[in-house]
Amino acid sequence: MGRIGKEYRINQRIRAKEVRLIGESGEQLGVMPLAQALQLGNERDLDLVEVAPNVNPPVCRLLDYGKFRYEQAKKERQAHKHQRVVEVSQIRLRPGTDVHDVESKVRLAKKLLEKGNKVKILVIFRGRQIVHPELGRELLERVAKSLEGTAKVERPLLLEGRNMSLILAPAAKKLREAEAK
């Protein structure tokens, strides 16, 4: 039942002339005309649901559609519950940022990385500072080097307009430790 959250064709909405039918307990009932499959569904007080429309002949199952939809929604909620949203936090610097200020930004980045977030370190150039991109490159490389054990570089240095950035992701070992907490 791989199509969670999708609409299925049921009963009279099925367009095929012949269908491969699967019973309510998963047994193969074989290929039969659609009318016969619908009649079998009516006799057993179950719905005929097209679960694989792209094969020839389409695969249909006999089941209680309301219960089936409820189970699918339940599976989807359960899968959604275990997903973890990774945020990208941004730390801004300037080429002339003082050493102490950079160290405090590195500590902040370390805290964010230990929580499992990604960090985008951004160096913003103003005015004529853009003619010295090597200053920004040195600054970003220094930050990346100081976070070496905690983070790995996900996207290398990139100059976009007047900004130079670097994206750091938590190191796999640190991420497992954070999840364990």
Q: In what order do the strands lie in the sheet with 151-160?
A: 88-93, 118-124, 163-170, 151-160
- Closest of 172, 163, 114 to residue 139, by C-alpha: 163
Domain limit, last residue, from 65, 81, 97? 81
In a domain, 159, yes or no: yes
Could you tell me if 132 and 69 lie in one domain?
no
In a domain, 4, yes or no: no
Domain limits for position 140: 88-180
Could you tell me if 15 and 36 lie in one domain?
yes
Q: Average pLDDT of 151-162?
A: 90
Does residue 2 have a pLDDT over 60?
no
Could you tell me if 57 and 105 lie in one domain?
no
Please report, for the domain that includes residue 119, its CATH number.
Answer: 3.30.110.10
Return the pLDDT at 6: 67
Query: Residue 20: beta bridge partners?
Result: 31, 59
Mean pLDDT of the chain: 86
Return the pLDDT at 15: 87
Total domain count for the chain? Answer: 2
Whose structure tokens read 């990139």?
158
